[in-house]
């Protein structure tokens, strides 16, 4: 069959690699893709929000399945767009419809959903411009630190953790009255700060049946020892030691089952990936957020651990018979280190020539922000590569990933040297 992946990051390169391994995939397209996907698939210069052009591309190339990488097209209703047109209806989309995508597209919706279906999460309330004063009073009555979240999509930047009441009030004012995150912060969710260790849990569902994919731990901060600004993710590991079978059974009971049940009760047929961001608070899982797609860089450690044919899993997801397909997971340790451009997550340069790729061995190089420029591969984003090491030991996987990250060169290259070390020290 012919498959189209939408997106251009390391996540999409990882999907492309895994899909290419399947004998079920005939032709693979990525829109817009990067220099890595260009090597194994056909890149098409179309943005992932250009639905009309995507539809045209699908018809022209007889695409049977579209895997949506990022959240934006889902929140904008790409599934609804395809389902509404008779000539596109037969194309299977992996990703929820607009209603399902609200789990990520609106923090208020997702918090109300969690509260309604008894899913453990931090206490919260939401405010708008017209209830700004009530928001200030709510802050006054809350313990610090406190978390303020823009309701809508804000490219991963819409969360502020305020350490004291002055900063909290200022943040609320900037978000609600000064449109700090544009329209996304017209509404703000204020929620209690949860102390613990984060865990990313991934569920693939056909709307009824589901499979729990390997869990991962993401390293979100730019600096070592989790310091500095929040990023899209600077590295990830899988498996995660504290996510024991017992813990994951608790997550399934307290979080996954009520989420599936809640979706059904809301009349949402969710077809795709649910990424549950959890805070592990002394053995108790609390949901921080839902995402309606896979994580990046988590995908770069999750997919290498899946032994089953990914295309079979995706087809079963689309057809509603995921219960009939086996999911086999490799117990190996996977560690990915993200190599970024100087300045990321703030302003950074693009177009720097990358060298040293051929020297990288014993690990998987996932391209993220790269592009082909004449005969060179050049930087084209803040996160440039995700380098995944696989080994029977966590230590071995860290070493492979770090060695690979070291060998790649471009001006201003930066990567964290402590990915996985916290977990290694804790065991």
Cβ contact 278:256 at 8 Å:
no
State the nearest-atom distance from the C-beta of 289 to ligand GLY, in Å: 8
User: Per the omega criterion (within 30 degrees of 0), is the bond before 345 cis?
Assistant: yes
Span of 25-33, 49-57, 266-274, 294-302 interacting with ligand GLY by CB under 6 A? 294-302
| By CB under 6 A, residue 298 contacts ligand GLY | yes
Q: Please, are residues 77 and 97 in contact by the beta-carbon 8 Å criterion?
A: yes
Q: Does 159 bind ligand AMP (CB under 6 A)?
A: yes
Q: Hey, what are 346's tokens?
A: 């703030």
Identify which of residues 288 and 311 has a Cβ nearer to ligand AMP in the complex.
288
Nearer to ligand GLY, 214 or 233 (CB): 233
Q: What dihedral do alpha carbons 13, 18, 22, 24 form, nearest 10°? A: -50
- Footprint (CB under 6 A) of ligand AMP, residues 254-313: 277, 288-289
Q: Is 414 in the site for ligand AMP (CB under 6 A)?
A: no
Of these, 132, 193, 242, 414, which contacts ligand AMP (CB under 6 A)? 193
HSE, side-chain direction, 13 A CA sphere, residue 403: 14
> Token pair for residue 156?
């991963």
Q: Is 9 in the site for ligand GLY (CB under 6 A)?
A: no
Question: Which residue number, 36 or 233, has a Cβ lying nearer to ligand AMP?
Answer: 233
Tell me the C-alpha distance between 169 and 127, whole Å: 13
User: CA nearest 256: which of 211, 291, 221, 294?
Assistant: 211
- Pair 416, 235: CB distance under 8 Å: yes
Residue keyed to tokens 């402590």? 418
Nearer to ligand GLY, 135 or 214 (CB): 214
Interatomic CA distance for residues 205 and 70, integer angstroms: 17
Pick what 296 binds: ligand AMP, ligand GLY, none; C-beta below 5 to 8 Å, kind-dependent: ligand GLY
- Is residue 220 close enough to count as binding ligand AMP by CB under 6 A? yes
Query: What would the x/- binding string for ligand GLY be over residues 180 to 219, using CB under 6 A?
Result: --------------------------------------x-
- Nearest Cα residue to 72 out of 143, 147, 153, 15: 153
Q: Does 171 bind ligand AMP (CB under 6 A)?
A: no
Contacts with ligand AMP by CB under 6 A lie at 122, 147, 159, 191, 193-194, 198, 220, 230, 277, 288-289
């Amino acid at each position: 069959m012919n498959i189209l992946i939408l997106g251009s990051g390391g996540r999409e390169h990882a999907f492309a690699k895994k899909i290419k391994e399947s004998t079920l995939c005939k032709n693979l397209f990525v829109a817009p893709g990067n220099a890595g996907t260009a090597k194994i698939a056909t890149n098409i210069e179309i943005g992932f929000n250009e639905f009309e052009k995507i539809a045209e591309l699908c018809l022209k190339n007889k695409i049977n399945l579209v895997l949506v990488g990022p959240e934006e097209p889902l929140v904008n209703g790409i599934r609804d767009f395809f389902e509404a047109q008779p000539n596109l209806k037969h194309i299977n989309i992996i990703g929820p419809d607009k209603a399902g995508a609200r789990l990520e597209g609106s923090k208020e919706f997702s918090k109300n959903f969690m509260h309604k279906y008894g899913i453990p999460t931090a206490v919260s309330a939401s405010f708008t411009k017209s209830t700004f004063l009530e928001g200030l009073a709510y802050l006054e009555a809350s313990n610090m630190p406190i978390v303020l979240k823009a309701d809508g999509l804000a490219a991963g930047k819409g969360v502020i953790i305020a350490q004291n009441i002055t900063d909290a009030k200022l943040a609320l004012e900037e978000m609600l009255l000064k449109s700090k995150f544009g329209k996304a912060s017209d509404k703000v969710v204020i929620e209690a700060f949860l102390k613990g260790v984060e865990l990313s849990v991934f569920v693939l569902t056909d709307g009824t049946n589901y499979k729990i994919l390997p869990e991962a731990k993401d390293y979100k901060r730019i600096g070592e020892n989790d310091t500095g600004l929040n990023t899209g993710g600077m590295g990830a590991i899988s498996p995660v030691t504290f996510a024991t079978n017992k813990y994951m059974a608790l997550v399934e009971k307290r979080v996954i089952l009520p989420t599936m049940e809640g979706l059904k009760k809301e009349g949402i047929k969710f077809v795709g990936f649910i990424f549950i961001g959890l805070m592990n608070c002394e053995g108790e899982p609390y949901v921080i957020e839902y995402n309606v797609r896979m994580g990046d860089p988590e995908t770069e450690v999750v997919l290498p651990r899946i032994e089953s044919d990914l295309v079979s899993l995706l087809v079963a997801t689309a057809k509603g018979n995921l219960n009939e397909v086996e999911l086999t997971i490799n117990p190996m340790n996977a560690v990915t280190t993200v190599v970024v451009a100087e300045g990321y997550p703030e302003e950074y340069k693009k177009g720097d020539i990358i060298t040293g790729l051929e020297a990288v061995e014993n690990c998987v190089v996932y391209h993220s922000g790269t592009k082909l420029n004449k005969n060179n591969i050049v930087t084209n984003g803040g996160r440039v590569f995700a380098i995944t090491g696989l080994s029977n030991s966590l230590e071995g996987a860290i070493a492979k990933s770090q060695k690979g990250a070291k060998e790649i060169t471009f001006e201003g290259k930066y990567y964290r040297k402590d990915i996985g070390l916290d977990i290694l020290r804790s065991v």
